[in-house]
């Protein structure tokens, strides 16, 4: 009888131990599983828009940049954060010509007019999320961008090394735009109203821009678009005919 009781006692003890161990295992592993799930980040697109008396300053988060030539990227492409004119166009033509873009430029690793020398001009190079404002004479950087399949365009300096750089730029009033650098961040600044170019340059300097290249293509240059943080499309200066336009800096989310 005592032997039977001992047998039942040991069986009960084993069952209790199994339950306790299972409970402990559950309590230990459950929080670890939750922690692993919680630390997985989600990438979110943002478009910061700051406003001063004379400027709108756009700062999108982005994954890559490139110069597009020939046909303006479609507004239906919702992977685009901002698209705007980059280099000057020589002449208003009925058809596109790569030689109609002023200054040295690189599109998808294909160089054009690289050895062109222009006073008062600088260049912007980019590949994926890498970008840099450079002098036209920085041949080594340009060669690297070409080999890596990147992009480049050449334009008139507005701010260079934190100093206003007017060069021979006219002072007429207009809606102006520039691709800018501040504190290692890439921004697009646009005048809020038609103002003299010199006032636009002063506004950029007052904002703290360290480098800035003008963004202009000639007639129709200011037609562009961007998406806000809610992915809502905004078209700036709508213009139905763009057949003579040639090149656009395109920023992707």
- Cα 155 to Cα 153: distance, rounded to the nearest angstrom: 7
What percent of the chain is predicted at pLDDT more than 90?
60
Residue 245 has a pLDDT of: 81
Residues 6+ apart with CB under 8 A from 95: 243
Residue 39 has pLDDT above 70, yes or no: no
Residue 202 has pLDDT above 70, yes or no: yes
Residue 42 has a pLDDT of: 41
| Contact predicate 132/124, CB 8 Å | yes
- Cα 95 to Cα 77: distance, rounded to the nearest angstrom: 23
Tokens of 235: 């078209």
User: What is the tens place of the pLDDT at every residue in 112-147?
Assistant: 988 777 888 999 999 999 999 999 989 999 999 999
Residue 181 has pLDDT above 90, yes or no: yes
Q: Specify burial of residue 23 (Cβ count, 10 A radius: 0-12, 13-18, 19+).
A: exposed
- Cα 202 to Cα 191: distance, rounded to the nearest angstrom: 11
Half-sphere exposure of 143 (CA within 13 A, CB side): 4
Of 26-35, 67-76, 151-160, 167-176, the least confident: 26-35
Residue 213 has pLDDT above 50, yes or no: yes
Average pLDDT, the chain: 83
- Cα 121 to Cα 136: distance, rounded to the nearest angstrom: 7
């Amino acid at each position: 009888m005592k032997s039977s009781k001992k047998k039942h006692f040991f069986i009960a003890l084993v069952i209790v131990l199994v339950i306790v161990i299972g409970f402990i295992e559950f309590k230990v592993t459950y929080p670890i599983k939750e922690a692993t799930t919680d630390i997985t980040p989600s990438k979110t697109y943002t478009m910061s828009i700051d406003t001063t008396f004379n400027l709108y300053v756009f700062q999108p988060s982005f994954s890559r940049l490139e110069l597009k030539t020939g046909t303006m990227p479609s507004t239906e492409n919702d992977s685009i954060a901002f698209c705007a004119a980059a280099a000057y166009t020589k002449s208003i033509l009925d058809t596109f010509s790569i030689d109609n873009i002023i200054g040295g430029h690189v599109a998808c690793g294909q160089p054009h007019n690289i050895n062109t020398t222009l006073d008062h001009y600088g260049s912007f190079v980019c590949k994926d999320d890498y970008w840099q404002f450079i002098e036209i004479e920085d041949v080594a950087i340009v060669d690297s961008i070409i080999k890596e399949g990147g992009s480049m365009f050449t334009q008139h300096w507005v701010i260079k090394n934190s100093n206003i750089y007017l060069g021979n730029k006219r002072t007429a009033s207009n809606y102006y735009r520039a691709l800018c650098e501040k504190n290692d961040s890439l921004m697009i600044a646009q005048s809020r109203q038609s103002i003299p170019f010199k006032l636009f340059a002063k506004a950029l300097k007052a904002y703290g821009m360290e480098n800035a290249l003008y963004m202009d293509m000639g007639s129709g240059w200011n037609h562009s678009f961007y998406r806000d943080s809610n992915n809502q499309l905004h078209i700036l200066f709508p213009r139905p005919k763009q057949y003579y336009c040639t090149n656009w800096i395109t920023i992707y989310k």
